[in-house]
Amino acid sequence: MKDFSVFDIIGPRMVGPSSSHTAGAVRIGLIAHRLIGDEHIKSADITLYGSFAETGIGHGTDRAVLAGILGIGTEDPRIRYSVLLAQSEGVEFAVHKSDREMNHPNTARIVVESVSGRKFEIVGTSVGGGNIEIVEINGMEVSFTGDYPAIVLFYRDVPGVISKVTSILAETGANVAFMKVFRSAKRMDACMVIETDAPIPANEIERIKQSVDGIKEICAV
């Protein structure tokens, strides 16, 4: 018999009405927000699939995803006002519904662009109890939950990148909880997701970016 935690039974602390359609949706949006970092978001394009599309309006899924994109957390009562907040901050946004069949019924695709032109496209699923999984970034298949602080690195698949990055993390005393590497093809674009017990300091992230050849983008999520 499966063991259940208290979190599984009562769900997360959140603004309702649904842990999967509201809290999970906020958390997917928050990943997009963190990928952009400190830059102001210029635009956000949201596509809802499956149950998100069918029942999302009633659960406030569209507003929840938008709230996360704006950096609003799951416990923040401003979730319900995310449309007004986006308008007040000059963030252009659009929400679409799709009947395309996805691997998980609670799926959202988000395209965000900063004022400087940095752009990310992510696909995330809400798997229940406010838990999520990010399954795609910029067309690259990935897998992480957002439960741990993480850095996401996009780089050219060449020898030495992984060892150099992990060596720098070891010097900082970072304890790696999980690490996954994804690539489109041999010696082509790759993505590394490193989840740690504590956030990596911004200066160390910049050090990795500047000292490891082949890295195209590095983000803390």
Summary mean pLDDT of the chain: 90
For the stretch 116-147, pLDDT in tens is 999 999 999 999 889 999 999 999 999 999 99
Predicted confidence at residue 198, as pLDDT, reads 96
The strand pair at 215-220 and 131-137 is best described as: unpaired
Here the contacts of 204-212 (C-beta below 8 Å, separation 24 or greater) are 204/168, 204/169, 204/172, 204/174, 205/151, 207/168, 208/151, 208/153, 208/165, 208/168, 211/164, 211/168, 212/155, 212/161, 212/164, 212/165, 212/168
Q: What is the pTM of this model?
A: 0.88
Q: Which CATH number fits domain 6-144: 3.20.20.140, 3.40.1380.10, 3.30.1330.90, 1.10.760.10?
A: 3.30.1330.90
Q: 150-220 adopts what CATH topology?
A: Alpha-Beta Plaits (3.30.70)
> Where does CATH 3.30.1330.90 sit in the chain?
6-144
For the stretch 12-55, pLDDT in tens is 444 444 556 789 999 999 999 999 999 999 999 999 999 999 98
> Where does CATH 3.30.70.260 sit in the chain?
150-220
